[in-house]
Amino acid sequence: MKRSRLVTYSTYLKIPHLLSLQEPRTKARDEMLFICVHQAFEIWFRLSIFELEKARAAIDADRLSAAVHALRRVTTILRTATPAFEVIETMHPYDFLEFRAKLEPASGFQSIQFREMEFLSGRKDRRYLTVLEASGRRALKRRLAEPTLWDAYVALLKRHRLRVGSDAEILKTAVQIMERPDRHPLWDITEALFVYDQGFLQWRMRHVQMTMRMIGEKAGTGRTGAKALVGAGYDPLGQAGGVAYLKTTLAKVFFPLLWEAQTQLTRP
């Protein structure tokens, strides 16, 4: 093989291309930090979506060890990536103000991959489509039409001849599974889904905490974006977006019945 055809670190990972993607719009000292942290999260979201799709396919095929493995990987990504909000907190809020206004109306609120993770896991909300550009809408429309991880799990319960006729029945079934940690064949997958959901909630909590430090109760940059895209239509961000909006998202778990099951769990 010719020497020039040998794969190298740089050609395999497309490092020059990757390093050409950080383009600050201002001369502010901390804008590079801001871009890199966001892009790093988007790369982790990319891998997470890949693994969540794997988990869903594995549940459908009754390959439960593979599904648990994929879900644990996503949980590990969330647990290890979430502390990276600390890196962005090395920027002083006063230094953030040097370039924050230049970002409007961009906001993490428009992250398509984040919404894909939500839709794929179990929280579909078509109203979010209205605030995205065409390519984002296409990706999310596809997700809207697909079964979620939760759908795959409920179908699995059904194949095991467990009762899933209503939410009340699913809740009862989940409690019965959780009561038998060492014996129930669906205990591991149920636990893996729950722990993944918990990891995602931790991301949300850490992000809102970091936002409180960085902008206090100021309006979020996404507010103007949402307004520009949908005019007077659906406004998911409420009056000002920002921290007030983010706090409402803390109630958005993917598998509410598994959380409710913790309340129902008793031990004789």
Give the interface with ligand HEM as residue ranges (CB under 6 A).
37-38, 41, 88, 96, 107-109, 111, 114, 207, 211, 214-215, 220-223, 237, 241-242, 245-246, 249
Residue 24 beta carbon to ligand HEM: minimum distance, rounded to whole angstroms? 14
Residue 16 neighbours by CB under 8 Å, 6+ apart: 10
Residue placing its CB nearer to ligand HEM in the complex, 130 or 249: 249
Q: Which residue is nearest to ligand HEM (CB)?
A: 220
Residue placing its CB nearer to ligand HEM in the complex, 67 or 214: 214
Q: Considering only CA atoms, which of 224, 190, 230 is closest in space to residue 67?
A: 190
- Find out whether 254 and 123 touch, Cβ atoms under 8 Å: yes
Residue placing its CB nearer to ligand HEM in the complex, 108 or 188: 108
Question: Distance between CA 176 and CA 164 in Å, rounded?
Answer: 12
Residue placing its CB nearer to ligand HEM in the complex, 54 or 223: 223
Task: Spell out the alpha helix ranges (H) of the chain.
Answer: 9-13, 15-19, 31-60, 64-81, 85-88, 93-96, 112-121, 134-145, 149-159, 167-178, 187-215, 222-230, 242-248, 256-264
Residue 257 beta carbon to ligand HEM: minimum distance, rounded to whole angstroms? 21
Dihedral (Cα; 85, 91, 93, 96), 10-degree rounding? -100
Question: Distance between CA 229 and CA 183 in Å, rounded?
Answer: 52
Question: Distance between CA 247 and CA 257 in Å, rounded?
Answer: 21
Residue 126 beta carbon to ligand HEM: minimum distance, rounded to whole angstroms? 14
Residue placing its CB nearer to ligand HEM in the complex, 194 or 200: 200
Residue 64 beta carbon to ligand HEM: minimum distance, rounded to whole angstroms? 30
Residue 37 beta carbon to ligand HEM: minimum distance, rounded to whole angstroms? 5
What residue has token string 């961000």?
237
Residue 134 beta carbon to ligand HEM: minimum distance, rounded to whole angstroms? 20
Preceding amide of 185 cis, omega within 30: no
Residue placing its CB nearer to ligand HEM in the complex, 107 or 121: 107
Identify residue 72 by its one-letter amino acid code.
Answer: R
Residue placing its CB nearer to ligand HEM in the complex, 136 or 241: 241
Residue 221 beta carbon to ligand HEM: minimum distance, rounded to whole angstroms? 5
